[in-house]
Structure 1
Amino acid sequence: MQEQRTFTKNDRFVDYYWYWLKLYKQGQVRPKTFSNYTLVARQLERMWPNKKIGEITADSFQQLVNEFAPGHARGSIQKFYTYARIPLLRLHHYEKLIDRDPTYGVKIPNAADAQLTRAKFLEKDQLQRLIKTLEFDQGTYSDGFMIVLRTGMRFGEFMGITPDDINFGKGTLTINKTWDYANRNTPYDRFQPTKNKHSIREIVIDGVTMECFKRNMEGCGRGETIFGTIACRQSSGWNKHLARICEFAQIPRLSMHSLRHEHATFLADENIPPQEIAERLGHANDQITQKVYIHRLESAREKGREQILEELTKIG
């Protein structure tokens, strides 16, 4: 049981963060979420080792977020900001140890480096180059990339797939759990619940996807994670391998999560109804799926403008 402690303005913020994390989050949130909070705590140990609670202002918090931003994707910056912000608000509103709201007006800086090197969506010719590269390689990582690209699974769901989840006769895949890939010591047969109830689903898969699974199932127990036994457990390791594949294919750099977006984009291009896409991806509704359509509409408009200009130049 966490021993209660009284803090003052002269105590280190990082000490309060660890105390707050263990008291209010440990055992109350999913292990992956708790792991994310822990990573933020370690960042605070490095970046704010001696920062006192009473010294924190909106300016200093903005500076902290700005210093964290370089080299990180916008999603990572957003998580850092959010997970650091919650205890700061408690210190201000409830503990009354910070006089003025230290989060007021603090903004998420643009992740310029990440935006320049990563793309959320590929054009059709780029997607074809990626697929041809994966087909040529047929290694463990390339097979994994192909599976995610053709199913739209989240990384945790992909890592949680076992041989029992695949029905080769019916051509279906059952997604009903995730694997704790953030924990390096997780046994191959220990799993976690899906993100939400909508994430539990059965989807159809094609022959290419089934072959990718078959090539990597040798020696895997029926209830064991297939790819967790033979490849890197962390998404960061998979993303590094994917970056090399993208470089070879001469396309913008992608992440594992980007492959999920690519799957949705492909289905949208084929005029699959948004609700069906949402169900396949395990979304609660089709609002996220609608963003894919918006992106494609904007892309089509831009191409239309370019074509108009090209035709006008022919007039002379």
Structure 2
Amino acid sequence: MLKSITKDALFHEYYAQWIRVYKEGAIRKVTMDKYLMTQSWLKRLAPDLKVHELSRITYQQLINDYAVYHEKQTTMDFHHQLKCAILDAVDEGLIERDPTRKVIIKGRPPKAKKVKYLNQFELHTLLNTLNLEPEINWDWFILLVAKTGMRFSEALALTPKDFDFPRQTLSVSKTWNYKGDGGFLPTKNQSSVRKIQMDWMTVIQFSRLVKKLPGDEPIFVKCGSKIYNSTVNDILERHCKKANVPVISVHGLRHTHASLLLFAGVSIASVARRLGHASMTTTQKTYLHIIQELESKDIDLVMRSLSELS
């Protein structure tokens, strides 16, 4: 039974109910956790703020208070999650005007970013340190992520049936619930359902590895075992140190894969499809620094081409 919400209700209570009504069961657990975290911060920063008291000034102060503890991008995410609920409150007549209009997003200076990807030489050096045994191990996992750019949970969910060796493709249609109790889950979004083209060497290697494995069981997850992202990252870190290259995470292998494709001249649209991004905008934002570097090279190429016309 829903509690009747009036203008005098506490804003964090309205927001809690809004999450239950509109988000519960409609979004993935990891996304739901973010909304619940926003709710907890709202209760902490504005425990006595009532719905009708939301104005541009009170909302801006709420954003400012949150920004004291967080970077600008995190503050922007906080704002976006609140804004959806607030606009519904406006539609319901609980708030007269949209208090989020013209909000100014602040935040703490960003921390120094760790290296997220390797160049081609560094990746080649890293892969040469892998111990690729006759049976599946985590080194094979690292190789496959580097060659395909899959997400960690996507690679964990792979079964022998997902490999189409004659067509040299790999089907991504599910993820593995490694943060919970295991089992298959849907992909991050519909665009994540895709087929990834594999090189012939990877096809030969994995056709031998999965030949005798059960077709519908994960090849990297042993029955009943719990998988931790940190476990594989630790293995990858040891290989990075052995290869004397910057230490990156498994997700950094995904960034490396995309970066190498962009530097090789592969279009943003193709990279977005291969990574399973919902739109090219996501790809452009994530790899803006690489795109800008490539644009600088393009300008030099244009200038040289034009100079040859004289």
**TM-score, normalization by structure 1:** 0.68
Please point out which of 173, 195, 201 is paired with 1:201.
195
RMSD, aligned CA: 4.3
Q: Which residue of structure 1 lines up, in the alignment, with residue 161 of structure 2?
A: 164
CA distance in 2, matches of 1:137, 1:69: 41
Query: Does 2:190 correspond to 1:191?
Result: no
Please point out which of 57, 64, 67 is paired with 2:66.
64
**Unpaired runs of 5+ in structure 1?**
302-316
**TM-score, normalization by structure 2:** 0.69
1:109/1:243 CA distance change after superposition, 3 Å:
farther
Report the alpha carbon displacement of residue 63 of structure 1 after superposing the two structures with TM: 2.0
Correspondences of 1:146-165 after superposition (within 5 Å): 146-165=143-162
**Secondary structure in 2 matching 1:67:** coil
Checking the alignment, whether the CA contact within 8 Å between 1:81 and 1:108 is kept in structure 2 is no
Q: Which residue of structure 1 lines up, in the alignment, with residue 302 of structure 2?
A: none
Please point out which of 205, 217, 220 is paired with 1:224.
217
Checking the alignment, whether the CA contact within 8 Å between 1:159 and 1:228 is kept in structure 2 is yes
Cα displacement string for residues 150-181 of structure 1 (whole angstroms, at most 9, x for unaligned residues): 10113332232222212345543111223344
Checking the alignment, whether the CA contact within 8 Å between 1:143 and 1:213 is kept in structure 2 is no
Percent of aligned positions that are identical: 23
**Secondary structure in 2 matching 1:28:** coil
1:77/1:259 CA distance change after superposition, 3 Å:
farther
- Counterpart amino acid of 2:258? A
CA distance in 1, matches of 2:159, 2:212: 12
Aligned residues: 290
Query: Does 2:259 correspond to 1:265?
Result: yes
CA distance in 2, matches of 1:108, 1:233: 37
Q: Which residue of structure 2 lines up, in the alignment, with residue 118 of structure 1?
A: 114
CA distance in 1, matches of 2:26, 2:147: 34
Q: Which residue of structure 2 lines up, in the alignment, with residue 314 of structure 1?
A: none
**Unpaired runs of 5+ in structure 2?**
299-310
Checking the alignment, whether the CA contact within 8 Å between 1:150 and 1:209 is kept in structure 2 is no
Q: Which residue of structure 1 lines up, in the alignment, with residue 274 of structure 2?
A: 280
1:131/1:102 CA distance change after superposition, 3 Å:
same
Cα displacement string for residues 232-284 of structure 1 (whole angstroms, at most 9, x for unaligned residues): 65656655665665566554554444322321222233334544434333346
**Larger Rg over CA atoms:** 2
Checking the alignment, whether the CA contact within 8 Å between 1:147 and 1:212 is kept in structure 2 is no
- Counterpart amino acid of 1:118? K
CA distance in 2, matches of 1:59, 1:37: 20
CA distance in 1, matches of 2:208, 2:15: 46
- Counterpart amino acid of 1:87? A
CA distance in 2, matches of 1:102, 1:26: 24
Q: Which residue of structure 2 lines up, in the alignment, with residue 178 of structure 1?
A: 175
